Structure 1
Amino acid sequence: MDGKNQPGEPPPAASVCAPESLTVLRKRSDFLKAARARRQGTSSMMVQARKRTPDETAGIRVGFTCSKKVGNAVARNRAKRRLREAARAVLPVNGHDGWDYVLIGRAETTAARPYEALLDDLRYALRKVHSSRK
């Protein structure tokens, strides 16, 4: 293929994520439930995770947040974009079905950390959150 789109064909997406594999958290109550559950910090982010009850929806759900400590709106949005891309790459493989995850950006480090290190941090946090400890 010559790398060009055919006429009438939509351009390729920047990231490929099956819509059924990850659902984005939108309600404050879901964020608060995750905040009361397990958490694991890394140098570039904080990961909060909770196992949903059987009567709740299936699939992996994820939310993203950055406080004003991260910086102005531009810095917060950049950090959240990087967290979204890391989640798209890691959660379908390492996340567990029926869990909610909230990724919280850290001041200065989330936006500046190399992408591969960001992915490794998320994988590490998921291993710790899903370990057998209660």
Structure 2
Amino acid sequence: MSVLVALISLLIIACSNPNTAESKTENSNRASKITSQVWQIKNGKETIYGHIYQPKKTHGKMKVAILSHGFGESEEQMKPYAQNLARRGYFAYAYDFPGGSLSGRSKGRDMTQMSILLKKRTF
């Protein structure tokens, strides 16, 4: 029974992530329409690390999207969403919560200081 479950799992993984040359070309063409850069915000001893994603060609005002990850994750999980929004004309910022995960790049807090009960802070 466990062998059958393992085989089905492998089949699902293989089918859900097609790795063809055509899909790679399409993804690289789509990605080339946007730009990405690191943007760090400093506040006292804290540094919030993130990436800005925006269309290469911008005209006038833009809609803004700020993407926040879940506990134990980082801005990397928000990257596909931010890129998609940028392709649709948004200025998107995906960032790491200070202390939000072990893999996060923001500085100033650790995971033991991160809580949903933290008081509202202004930056």
More helix by share: 1
- TM-score, reference length from structure 1: 0.28
- TM-score, reference length from structure 2: 0.29
Larger Rg over CA atoms: 2
More strand by share: 2
